[in-house]
Chain A
Amino acid sequence: MVTVEFAASLRHHVECAPQSVAPGTLRDVLEGALRAAPALAHYVFDDQRAVRKHVAVFVNGQIVPERVHLTQWLGAGDRVLVIQALTGG
């Protein structure tokens, strides 16, 4: 299984415990994790279902720069972390 965790800055708005979902593309994995908290999806994705530009997705500690297609394949044991990018004031 793939684990997906959302940072506290996101859980501040919509609570979502760490999720364990089946292997698949990063898109499949994120969408699968967000089924536990559908209201969180609009915080992670924009209207076109791309990762928001001020949200950062890491896979096993490596940032994923591609935001639209999310075709990277994830297997058992992979870890996904969704955080906010450091902007604002």
Chain B
Amino acid sequence: MMPTLLVATRKGLFAVQGDGANWNIASHYFAGEPVTQVLADRRDGSWYAALRLGHFGVKLHKSSDQGQSWQEMAAPAFPVKPTEGPWADDPTPWSVDLIWSLAAGGAHERGTLWAGCLPAGLFKSEDGGASWTLNQPLWEEPRRRAWLGGGYDHAGIHSILVDPRDPLHITLGISCGGVWQTRDGGASWSLTASGMKADYLPPENADDGNAQDPHCLVQCAAQPDMLWVQHHCGIYRSTNGGKQWQAIAAPAPSGFGFAVACDPHNPQRAWFVPAQADVCRIPVAGRMVVTRTDDGGASFQVLSEGLPQSQAYHLVYRHGLDVTRDGQTLALASTTGGLWLSADAGLGWQCLSHDLPPVAAVRFTD
């Protein structure tokens, strides 16, 4: 059975179905509402959609029947802000503005979910989204005070990687707060951004791990010690589970971008979607391309067949690229409403739409 592609957009959630070569938009849920993230839970087949209602806050909906019906669940929410103690003067709002990332817990932790939010609170559910608890150790980490906003006013958690070997080992990407890991299920956290450099800071601060801006963080399922990061200042790779990060030489046409996907089986292969630069967030020369490395970042191919090669101004956000579990089918979607699929690991692309609302995330259901 072919997977379904879920597309979270500014004006609803779309389900795209296909037979391998031909894909079509089959369903539209939450029409008109901003959907910021989506999760297809492989453990029980549930779909989760995070909404960011302009007036009424963040909401979370769940479907147990592949979108035929949806139930509103509890949304992650901060506890009452203390009126005394070290966090009484916290200038960060204790109110969830955006559910930026959703992840399933370990394969045997049925019902366990993680939500990364803006501001940068990490929440856990152990009952399939019926209730959520703030991870206090990370929220009360003193170095959180130094985290910076990036594209938003406050820092946020956009990447949550649950180690397939050990669900107590979780790696987070925080913009702008570096990479953090726990090996005890969230009881304690370590900053593991060594090797990254932030060229937007004064030179004497560029190595500060706590100020890094990873745009997106992914992990090879077959070799979870291999991680890839599209960082604000380029591409990084780690071969030792994130203990140390190595800068990858910027590939043509650019090392700047937001999205990254890696092959679930081949730790040497990853895909990126370049934009010109942080001060010019459009494809270089109006040509939309995907770059792919098959040798761990030593070299890259520029893939463009089927993508617009003239006067194209699509930007792909950090969750706008995904790959199926076999590593062969990719989906790519932009903030200007373009959606493309590739059936051959990125070599050629088929356009499904030029006309979608701005896309926040694409996720294959299987």
Contact = CB atoms under 8 A, between A and B. Distances in A.
B94 interface: yes
Given A47-B77, A48-B81, A85 B95 contact: no
A3 B95 CA distance: 29
B94 A47 contact: yes
B54 A42 contact: no
Q: Interface size class for chain B?
A: 10 to 19
Given A42-B75, A47-B77, A48-B81, A87 B95 contact: no
B55 interface: yes
Contacts of A84: 55-56
Interface string B69-81: 0001001011111
A39 interface: yes
A54 B56 contact: yes
Contacts, number: 45
A44 B236 CA distance: 43
A55 B57 CA distance: 10
A48 B95 contact: yes
Contacts of A47: 77-79, 94-96
Contacts of A43: 53, 56-57
Contact of B54 (A10, A13, A54): A54
B56 A55 contact: yes
A78 interface: no
Nearest to B134: A47
Interface string B143-183: 00000000000000000000000000000000000000000
Interface in B70-101: 72, 75, 77-81, 94-96
Contacts of B55: 9, 52, 54-55, 84-85, 87-88
A66 interface: no
A54 to B, nearest CB: 4
B96 to A, nearest CB: 6
The 8 closest A-B pairs by CB, nearest first: A54-B55, A43-B56, A47-B95, A88-B54, A47-B78, A84-B55, A46-B95, A47-B77
18 contacts: A13-B53, A42-B57, A42-B59, A42-B75, A43-B57, A46-B95, A47-B78, A47-B79, A47-B94, A47-B95, A48-B78, A48-B94, A48-B95, A49-B80, A54-B56, A55-B55, A87-B55, A88-B54
